Structure 1
């Protein structure tokens, strides 16, 4: 057992930390969120570092990065900007990876190199008004009509749909089959007739809009089917362990950002004649934050290692998601307390972490659903 981070992993963290501190300072991130304007230049520059090609191989312009590298990248992106994470993660680590694993050769050749260079983004269309955790209630329909599919329905929480080039849409292609056999995935190109996208107002990461998508007689060619007809569930479940690990890494990154900010403030802020880090109440909160970040990182990396080895990691991925997201929330809350009144000020940045953390207890499967999964796995194989 070796807990030493490799030189390559350390260099990746250093490179990304320096890049985001230069290119995504607190005031710039706050400005784009305030104006609800997507920072396409930051996304393009991040792609130039290789971030957008981490989920697939070099033959398509990617790097086929190992899972620890992806977790490090996710931490640093989450620490810098939720809006960037909302645009990057669905594109690079879910949709593009889904195309790489399940798509046709033509889809891979056409789309993946453009994902890698940052010129194509993909929004994930899974949730619906009446279907979130419960996939059996997905009702968006796609009916075969000659060489096309005709799609009707509605998606919600489709983040980035208004500026993405494709929607990676989960649709019901067999209304009489079970959820495990009746779902398929279709790529819906930007600007397709019958697609209406409505941005929603939200709490955090406003620079990347979360959208409602209405699909009325939307026609896409049969070549846009990703994977086998009726096997969409296998795509979802084939990617979900990784997604939940990355959510754990997002929580870790937010916790690390809150800790870094709180620690800097506590060293500089003087009250009652000494820096507040020397007051035990503050020191204990910082210690708790450090323990949360470290345990979150370790449990996430363990799950990532198992995923890399091809081992069953559903329980570990669920644990990483729950612990990482809740650790991030706790760290942001303690950071708010340490900064006191200044925590409410946008220019300090702590309030952004506080707003951003809550999503990760919900997205990727609520933490209550995750606890059910952990308990089920315990019953099946133990710890």
Structure 2
């Protein structure tokens, strides 16, 4: 077994580091842009007088960094070459995401906005795999240059993780001789609606509550009459771009149907494993950052005449966290490598439990590492002059989003006990 990373990947990490230092760091320091990352970050990012939304100058800075990364050939790295990407593997993406997060807060990678100079762009692949020829030709270029932005309307106020009891419904309706659908319902946590040009909205078009069959995805222009942002939910980690959205007598033509009619949940699941393994790697990197910063501080800080690090009460909790980081890194990279050898259906049937394990444990580990870093640093660690409170507040979200950790553990449990997966028990 060879645990060495491929040379082309380590070379690419060095190339990314050079790009960050030459292009991204100077932009981060320019015009007091550092206010978005130092102790002023929450106030600098958040327009508290405008529903708590991200300030326009903050989002403009993120976009400028992404444009620089795209020009340099980095932004589309995981996408196929047909989209200007480099066919980046799952293994490569986990290594890159961990590497970025381990650098701490910065313009190179800020997951509060799902921003990175090496982006995911899952909607591009969804359009390739599920879109009609017309949808593909209309949307893809705009998705890549960000002139089109798609929100994702799946979760509902009364059902959370359970999409199968969806109450948003669409019924057939013809207008002016054009076949279409009339949508009524509500969606929750529809991230990015403040700038989205369209919302991929999941609706029940047939079937009974609780059935996965009968749910359809539709691409709804955000300006369609009847689409309304009811409120933006203020969160533990501001700014917010997570609204509750109502759909009241919203009519769309039949061409808005995205993917298979009545099998729309396949779209929601299509990129879930890639998202979860990469997000797990980000949490792992952030945990590593918290531990390393705590070690450096404990060696430098000298209360009562000796290094704080000499106290076992400081050493042992950090040793436990560092041990978990080392073990989890191996599982994440092994799982990502295995994903690269399989098709998406094979990943779902054979590796879904391992992806779930990586994700829920990494998110929990990151929160524990950030909490311990605050404790080691004392009062200054609790302040916003250190990044740990921000890391904690942000990564605490991931224990709920991308599949709550209970949902992830349920998936792992189903594989472990033979209800799902390659070792599924057969009742004789």
TM-score by length of 2: 0.79
Q: Given the superposition, is the C-alpha separation of residues 199 and 88 from structure 1 closer, same or farther in structure 2, using an over 3 Å criterion?
A: farther
Matches within 5 A, 1:278-297: 278-297=310-329
Range with bigger deviation, 323-332 or 69-78:
69-78
Shift of 1:189: 2.2
Alpha-carbon distance change, 158 to 88 in structure 1, aligned in 2, over 3 angstroms? farther
Query: 8 Å contact 1:60–1:109 — kept in the other structure?
Result: no
Is the CA contact 2:205–2:215 (under 8 Å) kept in the aligned structure 1?
yes
- Aligned: 1:199 with 2:219: no
Change (3 A) 1:328 1:223: same
1:49 lines up with 2:78 in the alignment:
no
CA contact (8 A) 1:114 1:120 kept: yes
Does residue 375 (structure 1) correspond to residue 413 (structure 2)? The answer is yes
Partner of 1:319: 357
Structure 2 spans left out of the alignment, 5+ residues = 48-53
Q: Which residue of 301, 307, 321 corresponds with 2:333?
A: 301
Call closer, same or farther: CA 1:143–1:71 in 2, change over 3 Å.
farther
Which deviations, in whole Å up to 9, do the C-alpha atoms of 1:138-169 show, x marking residues without a partner? 11112232332222111111121212222222
Q: Aligned partners of 2:207 and 2:252: how far apart in 1?
A: 19
Q: Distance in 2 between matches of 1:306 and 1:216?
A: 45
1:101 aligns with 2:129: yes
Asked if 1:164 is matched to 2:196, the reply is yes
Question: Is 1:83–2:112 an aligned residue pair?
Answer: yes
Q: How many residues align?
A: 380
Q: 1:71-95, CA deviations, whole angstroms, 9 ceiling, x for partnerless residues?
A: 234445655323222x679x94543
Question: How far off its partner does 1:355 sit?
Answer: 1.1
1:99-138: CA deviation from partner (whole Å, max 9, x where unpaired): 2321223323332233333443322211101122212211
For 1:382 and 1:274, the matched residues in 2 are separated by 55
Secondary structure of the structure 1 residue equivalent to 2:164? helix
Which position in structure 1 is the counterpart of 2:94? 71
Aligned pairs for 1:1-383 within 5 A: 1-14=1-14, 15=16, 18=21, 23=28, 26-27=37-38, 29-35=41-47, 36-37=54-55, 38-50=58-70, 53-54=76-77, 56-75=79-98, 79-80=104-105, 81-85=110-114, 92-146=120-174, 147-176=179-208, 179-197=211-229, 198-204=231-237, 206-310=238-342, 311=346, 312-380=350-418, 381=422
- 8 A Cα contact 2:112 2:394, kept in partner: no
CA separation of 1:134/1:339 partners in 2, compared to 1, >3 Å: closer, same or farther? same
Change (3 A) 1:84 1:10: farther
Distance 1:129 1:178 in 2: 16
Relative to structure 1, the CA distance from residue 341 to residue 21 in structure 2 (aligned partners, 3 Å threshold; closer, same or farther) is farther
Maintained 8 Å contact 1:60/1:108: no
Matched residues in 2 for 1:152 and 1:366: separation?
27
Q: Which moved more, 1:366-375 or 1:30-39?
A: 30-39
* Higher helix proportion (structure 1 or 2): 1
Change (3 A) 1:274 1:117: farther
**Is the 1:179–1:233 Cα contact (8 Å) retained in structure 2?**
no
For the residues of structure 1 that align with 2:257 and 2:243, how far apart are their CA atoms? Answer: 23
SS across alignment from 1:354: helix
| Structure 1 Cα separation of the partners of residues 354 and 277 of structure 2 | 8
Where structure 1 has 5 or more consecutive residues not aligned to the other structure, the ranges are: none
Task: State whether residues 24 and 65 of structure 2, in contact with CA within 8 Å, keep that contact through their aligned partners in structure 1.
Answer: no
User: Over aligned residue pairs, what C-alpha RMSD do you find?
Assistant: 2.8
- How far 1:180 sits from its partner (Å)? 2.2
Aligned-partner Cα distance in 2 for 1:95–1:333: 34
Query: 1:315 is paired with a residue of what secondary structure?
Result: helix
